[in-house]
Structure 1
Amino acid sequence: MAPINRWFKWPPVARNEDLNRAYDAFSFATTILRATRRDQPSVVADIRVYIQVPYEGTEHDSPQSRAQQAETFSPNELKAYTIMSGDHETCHFTPKLIGYAEESQGPNGLVPGGFLITIAWQRVSGIRLGSGIIGPYSTSTLGAQSSTTRGSPGPFWYQLRKLVELGVIPLQKGTRHLVFNKTTEELYWVGWYNASLKRGVKVNNAWLAIYKLAKPSKGDSSWMTDNWPRDISKWTF
C-alpha cells in the first residue's frame, strides 16, 4: 500500500481541549491508501484510515493523560457506504464497500483507547469529470439537462433521486465527484467523505449548479434560495 495524499487534521484543532469538547469536536487525522488484490491485481481498492490524535500541545503528555481524550466515532462516510452497499443493486452507481474495521488504539497509541477506523471500497473505472464545466461530456450525455425533462430520467437525475430516497446525500460539489465510463456509458458518484444522512432533500435544477453541470447567469444566486423560480433558460450548459 502507498499513501496517495498527505496526512492532515480535520476539524482544525483548537489549543483548548475544553473548547473542543464544548463543541463536540475532537482531533483526528485521515489519509487514503490504495491497494490491489493479491490474487486479482486488476481489482483496485481505496482505503481510508481515521485515527484519533492528541489535542495540540498534549502530544508529549504521558499515555495515561492522553488516554483521557479517547472518544468513539462513527464517520458518516462509513454509514453512507453501509447504506448504499446494503442496497447495492439499487446503488450500483456508487463504489462497493469491501469491508471496514472499527478498532481502538492500544496502550502505545497516539491516543490510547482512541478510535482507529478503516474503510475499504472498490475503485470504479472511468474518467473523473474535473472541477469545472463538464467539457466534452455534455449534460445530455448524462441526462442532466433538467430535473423536469419529460420522458425517462437520465442517469444523473435517476441516481440522485435514488440516493435521496435512501437518505444518503452527497455534500461534495463539482463534477470531480462524478466518474464517467465511456465504454459502458455508466455514471458513478464518488467521494463520500462529507456525506450527509437525512431525508426530505429537494431534487431540483439547483443540483446542476452544485455539480457544475451548468453555469448560472453571472451574478445570479437566486438558485441558492428556497423561493427560486426554477428558471434555467439563461444558464450555460
Structure 2
Amino acid sequence: MPKITFTILLHHLAINFLPLRHAIILFSYPAPLILLIEMTSQHSWFRGPELRSIVFDAPTPSTWIVLKRVNEHEHRKDPDHSAISYASVKYLCKKHGDTNKIAFVKIYKQLPHLGTESDDYTTRAKQARAWTPPELVAYKTLTDKQSKVTPRLLEYREEEQDSSALIPAGFLVSFVWEQVPGVQLGDSLGAKVFWDMSPDQRHNIREVFKNKTIRETETIGFRPLFSGPSHLVWDSASGNLFMVGFRQWIEVKPTPWSEAKSYWFDLAKPPKKVNWSEWGNEPDTSNWKF
C-alpha cells in the first residue's frame, strides 16, 4: 500500500499542556509518526548546580557572570531521521570586570534521539557528531561581514561532551553575542510598543527599516524564519534599528522594496480586505495604516 504523507507546522501552539514553540508532525498513512518536536520544555536538560559563570578562551580570555536563565529549547528527532537532537539554554550575562557589558550566552548540547535515552553507552555514542548551530552560523557571518544592524558575536567555543554524558563525544557549543541597546518593538502578539509611539517616531523607524535594516540584512543574506516585531529593537539615541533573534532563519537575497516587508514585521497595517494577488508586486497602500 502506498504511503501518503502530510506535513503540518504548528506554531505557538500548546498541546497536552506542554508549551510548544512549534512542532513539525508527519502524518503517514496508515500509521502516524512524529519526526520532530521543538518546545520550550518544562523538563530541563541542563540540571545540576546553578551555573554562576561561563569562561571562554578565544579570541581573548573572558568570564561572563550569569544574571538569569532566559529560556530553554528542546529539539528532538525520531531515531530513523538523519538529523540531530539537541537542547539549548540561553542566559543573560555581564562581563566580569566590565559590568556595563551585557550579553547573551547560548549553550547547545547534543541529546539522544526520541526513545533512545535508556539505550546502552555504545548505542548512544554512535549518535555523536560535530554540528554548528545555525544561530552561531548567522551571528558569525553577520559579524564577519561587519553588519551594523545586528548583534555582534563576541566569543564562541565548539567542543565535545565528556564520556559521562548522554551522548559521549556529542557536540557542545557555546557562544556569546551582545545585547543591543534600545526597546523591542513588540512580541508574538504584535508591535504594541511601535504603535503606541507618535506618528513621527513610527515614520522615522519605518524609514530606517526600509533604507538600512532590511536592506543590509538582505544583502548579507539572512532573515529570521518567523518575521515579526519581536525581531526589531529601536535605539532612539543612535537612530539605529537592530534586527535580532536568529535562532531560526532563512537565506534571502536582496529584493526591491515593497511595503509588504513592513507588514511582515507589523510596521504597517493593511485593511482587513486585501487583494492578495497584488502581493507579488507593490500592493496598493493608499488605505493602509502607517
TM superposition shift of 1:161: 0.9
Q: Which residue of 2 aligns with 1:109?
A: 165
5+ unaligned residues in a row in structure 2: which ranges?
Answer: 1-65
- Alignment partner for residue 213 of structure 2, among 159, 164, 167? 159
Q: Which residue of 2 aligns with 1:208?
A: 262
Listed as ranges, the matches of 1:86-235 within 5 Å are 86-88=144-146, 91-131=147-187, 132-133=190-191, 134-137=194-197, 138-142=201-205, 144=206, 154-157=207-210, 158-201=212-255, 203-220=257-274, 222=276, 225-226=279-280, 228-235=281-288
Structure 1 stretches of at least 4 aligned residues deviating more than 6 Å after TM superposition: none
TM superposition shift of 1:166: 1.3
Query: Identity rate of aligned residues, in percent?
Result: 28
CA distance in 1, matches of 2:151, 2:268: 25
CA distance in 1, matches of 2:202, 2:144: 30
SS in 2 for 1:69: coil
Asked if 1:61 corresponds to 2:119, the answer is yes
Q: Is the 8 A contact 1:172 1:192 kept in 2?
A: no
Structure 1 pair 201–17 and aligned structure 2 pair: CA distance change class (3 A): farther
Q: When the two structures are superposed, what TM-score results if normalisation uses the length of structure 2? A: 0.68
| Cα displacement string for residues 135-192 of structure 1 (whole angstroms, at most 9, x for unaligned residues) | 23343021x2xxxxxxxxx321222111111112233322121111232332111111
Asked if 1:80 corresponds to 2:138, the answer is yes
The aligned amino acid for 1:8 is H
Q: When the two structures are superposed, what TM-score results if normalisation uses the length of structure 1? A: 0.82
CA distance in 1, matches of 2:275, 2:171: 41
TM superposition shift of 1:97: 0.7
The more displaced of 31-40 and 166-175 is 166-175
SS in 2 for 1:5: strand
State the superposition RMSD in angstroms: 2.1
CA distance in 2, matches of 1:208, 1:229: 12
Higher relative contact order at CA 8 Å, sep ≥6: structure 1 or structure 2? Answer: 1
Going by fraction, where is strand more abundant, 1 or 2? 2
CA distance in 2, matches of 1:67, 1:201: 45
SS in 2 for 1:43: strand
Equivalenced residues, count: 217
Q: Which residue of 1 aligns with 2:104?
A: 46
CA distance in 2, matches of 1:172, 1:214: 17
Q: Is the 8 A contact 2:221 2:253 kept in 1?
A: yes
